[in-house]
Structure 1
Amino acid sequence: MTQEEVIHCGGCGVKLQLEDPHALGYIPAQALEKEPVICQRCFRIKNYNEASSITLNQDDFLKLLGHVGHKEALVINIVDIFDFEGSLISGLARFVGGNPIILVVNKIDLLPKVTNWNRIVNWVRKQAKEQGLKVVEVVLCSAKKNMGFDRVLQAVDEHRSGKDVYVVGATNVGKSTLINRLISDYSDLDSELTTSQYPGTTLDMVEIPLDDGHFIIDTPGIVYKHRLTELVSKKDLGKLMPGKALKPMVYQLNEGQTLFFGSLARFDFVRGERQSFTIYSSGAVPIHRTKLEKADELYANHKGTLLTPPVVKDLEELPPLVKQTIHISKGKKLDVLISGLGWIKINSEAGAELAVHVPKGVKIVQRDSLI
């Protein structure tokens, strides 16, 4: 395939390319000799029930999503309970029109086993509503533990009414696992993948045919640069994302004390009565306690060495830390979420003045306590 030749995938219609295996439209050179000529993504779906993780930035994704509002469809938005606000698609309701939305909340296996699941569902509904997202159902699940997927399928049956199903989500939320499960339950993979409704664009979706003539539409994952997980190396990504249930870590702090999360973030208890803070983050990210008056010096002298991850080489790829001041009023029980890293639960009702330092652009959210 020369630069002059333009060939489109016989499955999804995207323009094919030979250069980047991780980008949309990639096809190995030897596959050009086969019939039909389809991209690697379609090949994996068709032959292995495997949806690959092609990604788009938010602006390009929202352009693509604008098509959904002009047709009748069911939208499944899958989010990560570990990074709920960071993985939620802001503005989704504006783009899907009046189409019903099922909010599938993945990774619930990370929450403590004593969690009240009804409370979590109510919390999710409240948070989604505050974000302007009206959902017909909230389903809690775990792709890793295969929990809750039967309920996802039941919800699809109840709300689809013969419509196409669009599956949307940010990167690393488990969207591919959900797509694969839907494929195995609903799709006849002996059928050829059909040409996308939007052939020839760089914003293509993959349509997976259903037995009733409609489709599951696999949309590219959205890259949100406000998530710390999008900024770190692959090696450190594995440390940030917990692999098992979180073990809350409680720190009794006096004012003027600081917690470092490796070199990735810093939490200062600037002012307030002695109180406890509960940390919900991956155990692979070590927490280092020090005095606030020594925090700047400690970071300057030991970032990337004593304070890891990341190591010095990878730290150079991250934006510099910026400070955000947070005032917690008396009587408020809140979480402070650092998108992609976890959250700190403020346990005291006495109020506090805090400061959080994160790489520039990373989202920090104050919210009602999840747990």
Structure 2
Amino acid sequence: MTKQQLEQEACAGCGVKLQTESTDIPGYIPASTLDREPVICQRCFRIKNYNEAASVAINQDDFLKLLGGIAATKSLVVHIVDLFDFEGSLISGLQRFVGNNPVLLVVNKIDLLPKGINLNRLLNWVQKQTKAQGLLTVGIVLCSAKRNMGFERVIEAISEHRGNRDVYVVGATNVGKSTLINRLIRDYSDLERELTTSRYPGTTLDAIHIPLDDGNEIIDTPGIVYSHRMTEIVPRGVLQSLLPDKPIKQLVYQLNSQQTLFIGALARFDFIEGDRQSFSLYISNALPVHRTKLERAEELYAEHKGVMLAPPTKEQLEEMPAWTRHRLTIKRGSETDVFISGLGWIHVNGDSGALIDVYVPKGIRVLLRDALI
């Protein structure tokens, strides 16, 4: 492959333009590997073979510029969100980016919910939340790309709404875009390639165009990086524990007021006022929870953060923002979740109301919402 040919070539894994000059710039590929098929950059090679990711920063403005160009196209926009981090992964203001193009909402990772969830109730919940966010959709599909649940319905919905249009796939980082597109490639394309997937945010670096038989394309876009998600601000070594990869087992705690729950050293939940009641935690099964009295919480954290209260470790905590407090009031008789973006949620089971403080790293989104389960 000549230098001129290389400059026109994109990585088959992440879409970035290839180059052989600098290992510090996205798209680096050793000259000795240019004849391999498919041609992928060194970063994608390391992710695929060693589950390792190099630190490559992508400009947020480039993401928004790419999104903004969709309005001028004739496309079906497939917006993929992570059910486990619904409010955190929904693209705010998507409507103004896509113009008059129809939006199909694909809610991925339903396999992470405890078994026995009523899918019709879940769909109603998603419809209500989506409407509240001001997003207009032509359809909503629940699925798990990883477990092949509901994937046929995704294909049907895309075929139903696409017409003679390209398909733009958009979403935040780590919502499963590339996993879902790989399923599309394997099932509906003769293209011998596979997008790079990993548990690391920002695996796709540029738009990847995948030709369809009718002359149109599927375009996989880079994930939007939202710093209000816990998954974006923790060190990479913590992601394995933070991101669930199998159905969540809810943890139920009966608490009196003036009791505290620590979720590793990632979050602190204080039950300040209210009748004795139960709280159900929906978080990764790999995260430990410790209960203590509120009066001992400060001392316990100071002595045990990064050791007994982990992850993160002491060294990893130094890379993260300091905690900030969110005070929340749960109304009597409400079915409410305390949602922490990128971490999960805590369902308040009592109907007597409660006053709660939540401590998380500064910038992480914490909010009250109608109960998902």
Tell me, yes or no, whether TM beats 0.5: yes
Q: Which residue of the partner structure matches residue 48 of structure 1? A: none
Determine which of 232, 241, 244 is the counterpart of 2:243: 241
- Is residue 82 from structure 1 mapped to residue 81 from structure 2 by the alignment? no
Determine which of 71, 93, 106 is the counterpart of 2:95: 93
Q: Which residue of the partner structure matches residue 8 of structure 1? A: 7
Deviation at 1:113, TM superposition (A): 1.5
Give the conservation status (yes or no) of the 8 Å contact 2:9–2:17. Answer: no
State the alpha-carbon separation in 1 of the partners of residues 107 and 92 from structure 2: 15
Q: Which amino acid aligns with 1:215?
A: E
Deviation at 1:231, TM superposition (A): 1.8
State the alpha-carbon separation in 2 of the partners of residues 292 and 222 from structure 1: 37
- Is residue 146 from structure 1 mapped to residue 145 from structure 2 by the alignment? no
Q: For residues 325-344 of structure 1, what are the structure 2 equivalents within 5 Å?
A: 325-344=327-346
State the alpha-carbon separation in 2 of the partners of residues 36 and 242 from structure 1: 33
Give the conservation status (yes or no) of the 8 Å contact 1:6–1:15. Answer: no
Q: Which residue of the partner structure matches residue 365 of structure 1? A: 367
Map Cα deviations across residues 41-63 of structure 1 (whole Å, 9 max, x no partner).
Answer: 9x99xxxxxxx999846543121
Q: Which amino acid aligns with 1:355?
A: D
State the alpha-carbon separation in 2 of the partners of residues 133 and 177 from structure 1: 24
Q: 1:244 to 1:204 in 2, by over 3 A?
A: closer
State the alpha-carbon separation in 2 of the partners of residues 182 and 255 from structure 1: 50
State the alpha-carbon separation in 2 of the partners of residues 207 and 235 from structure 1: 31
Q: Which residue of the partner structure matches residue 279 of structure 1? A: 281
Deviation at 1:39, TM superposition (A): 5.4
Give the conservation status (yes or no) of the 8 Å contact 1:56–1:220. Answer: no
Give the conservation status (yes or no) of the 8 Å contact 1:85–1:365. Answer: no
Normalising by structure 1, report the TM-score: 0.87
Q: Which residue of the partner structure matches residue 221 of structure 1? A: 223
State the alpha-carbon separation in 2 of the partners of residues 26 and 64 from structure 1: 22
Give the conservation status (yes or no) of the 8 Å contact 1:31–1:37. Answer: no
Percent identical across equivalent pairs? Answer: 59
Q: Which residue of the partner structure matches residue 200 of structure 2? A: none
Q: 1:186 to 1:251 in 2, by over 3 A?
A: same
Map Cα deviations across residues 151-196 of structure 1 (whole Å, 9 max, x no partner).
Answer: 11111110110200011112221111111112223334279xxxxx
SS of residue paired to 1:67: helix
State the alpha-carbon separation in 2 of the partners of residues 31 and 322 from structure 1: 48
Deviation at 1:243, TM superposition (A): 2.0
Q: Which residue of the partner structure matches residue 136 of structure 2? A: 134
Deviation at 1:36, TM superposition (A): 10
Give the conservation status (yes or no) of the 8 Å contact 2:266–2:311. Answer: yes
Q: 1:362 to 1:157 in 2, by over 3 A?
A: same
SS of residue paired to 1:155: helix
Q: Which has the higher contact order (CA 8 A, sep 6+)?
A: 1
Q: For residues 1-371 of structure 1, what are the structure 2 equivalents within 5 Å?
A: 8-11=7-10, 15-18=17-20, 19-20=22-23, 24-32=26-34, 34=35, 40=41, 56=58, 58-189=60-191, 204-371=206-373
Q: 1:186 to 1:37 in 2, by over 3 A?
A: closer
Gaps of 5+ in 2: 46-52, 194-203
Deviation at 1:349, TM superposition (A): 1.6
Map Cα deviations across residues 223-251 of structure 1 (whole Å, 9 max, x no partner).
Answer: 22211112223332111111211111111
SS of residue paired to 2:363: coil
Give the conservation status (yes or no) of the 8 Å contact 1:236–1:310. Answer: yes
State the alpha-carbon separation in 2 of the partners of residues 6 and 165 from structure 1: 27
State the alpha-carbon separation in 1 of the partners of residues 18 and 60 from structure 2: 22
Deviation at 1:145, TM superposition (A): 1.2
State the alpha-carbon separation in 2 of the partners of residues 140 and 353 from structure 1: 34
Q: Which amino acid aligns with 1:341?
A: L
Deviation at 1:144, TM superposition (A): 2.1
Q: 1:132 to 1:56 in 2, by over 3 A?
A: farther
Normalising by structure 2, report the TM-score: 0.86
State the alpha-carbon separation in 2 of the partners of residues 256 and 138 from structure 1: 42
State the alpha-carbon separation in 2 of the partners of residues 24 and 5 from structure 1: 18
Q: Which amino acid aligns with 1:97?
A: G
Give the conservation status (yes or no) of the 8 Å contact 1:9–1:37. Answer: no
State the alpha-carbon separation in 2 of the partners of residues 230 and 220 from structure 1: 15
Backbone CA RMSD of aligned residues:
2.9
State the alpha-carbon separation in 1 of the partners of residues 365 and 123 from structure 2: 23
State the alpha-carbon separation in 1 of the partners of residues 23 and 343 from structure 2: 29
SS of residue paired to 1:345: strand
SS of residue paired to 2:286: coil
State the alpha-carbon separation in 1 of the partners of residues 58 and 156 from structure 2: 29
Q: Which amino acid aligns with 2:74?
A: E
Deviation at 1:29, TM superposition (A): 2.5
Q: Which amino acid aligns with 2:149?
A: M
Deviation at 1:7, TM superposition (A): 5.8
Give the conservation status (yes or no) of the 8 Å contact 2:337–2:370. Answer: yes
